[in-house]
Structure 1
Amino acid sequence: MLLAEGVHAVITDRRGGVSPAPFGGRNLGGAVGDDPGNVAANRRMTALEVGVDPSRVVLMRQVHGREVAYVDRPFGDDPPGLDAIFTAEEGLALVSLAADCAQVLVADPVARLVGAAHSGRPGTLAGVVPALVEAMAGRGGDPGRMVALVGPAACGRCYEVPAEMREEVAAVVPEAWATTSHGTPSVDLRAAISAQLSRAGVGDVRHDARCTIESGDLYSYRREGQTGRFGAYIWLG
Structure 2
Amino acid sequence: MTIDRITTPLLGAVPHGFLGRRGGVSAGIHGGLNVGFGSDDDADAVAENRRRARDAVRPGSRLVTCYQIHSAEAVTLLSAPEEEARPHGDALVTNRPGLLLGILTADCAPVLFADAAAGVVGAAHAGWKGALGGITDATLLAMEALGARRDRIAVAIGPCIARVSYEVDSAFLRRFAEQAPENERFFADGIRPDHYQFDLEAYVAHRLAAAGVARVAALGEDTYAQEDRFFSFRRATHRGEPSYGRQISLIGLA
Q: Which residue of 222, 234, 238 maps to 1:222? A: 234
Paired residue secondary structure (2:30): coil
Q: Could you tell me the TM-score, scaled by structure 1's length?
A: 0.93
Post-superposition offset of 1:170? 3.4
Describe the superposition over 1:170-199 as per-residue Cα deviations: whole angstroms up to 9, x where unpaired: 332516631266374122111111111011
The whole-number CA distance in structure 2 between the counterparts of 1:176 and 1:66 is 23
Q: Which residue of 2 aligns with 1:57?
A: 63
| Among candidates 64, 86, 93, match of residue 93 of structure 2 | 86
Letter in 2 for 1:165: F
Alignment equivalent of 1:118, drawn from 121, 125, 137: 125
Indicate the percent of aligned positions where both proteins have the same amino acid: 33
Whole-angstrom distance in 2 between the partners of 1:188 and 1:115: 23
1:16-31 equivalent positions in 2, closer than 5 A:
16-31=23-38
Partner residue, 1:142: 149
| Count of equivalent residues | 236
* In 1, Cα distance between equivalents of 2:87 and 2:98: 21
- Tell me the TM-score normalised to structure 2 length: 0.87
Contact 1:99 1:229 in 2 (8 A): yes
Which segments of 5 or more consecutive residues in structure 1 lack a partner in the other structure? Answer: none
Cα contact 1:99–1:218 (8 A) shared by 2: yes
| Alignment correspondent of 2:175 | 168
Q: Is the 8 A contact 1:175 1:188 kept in 2?
A: no
Residues 119 and 175 of structure 1, relative CA distance in 2, 3 Å threshold = farther
1:228 Cα offset (Å): 0.5
**Shift in CA distance, 25/235, structure 1 to aligned 2, threshold 3 Å:** same
Q: Which runs of 5 or more structure 2 residues have no equivalent in the other structure? A: 1-6, 238-242
Q: Does the 8 Å CA contact 1:97/1:118 hold for their aligned counterparts?
A: yes
Whole-Å Cα distance in 1 between the matches of residues 104 and 148 of structure 2? 24
Change (3 A) 1:124 1:40: same
Determine the C-alpha separation between the residues in 2 that align with 1:166 and 1:72. 38
Give the alignment's Cα RMSD to 1 decimal. Answer: 1.7
Structure 2 match to 1:188: 199
Deviation at 1:73, TM superposition (A): 2.8
Name the stretch that deviates more: 100-109 or 75-84: 75-84
In structure 2, how many angstroms separate the alpha carbons of the residues matched to 1:77 and 1:134?
Answer: 25
For 1:42 and 1:211, the matched residues in 2 are separated by: 22
| TM-superposition CA deviations, 1:2-42 (whole Å, max 9, x none) | 54344121111111211111101110111011111111011
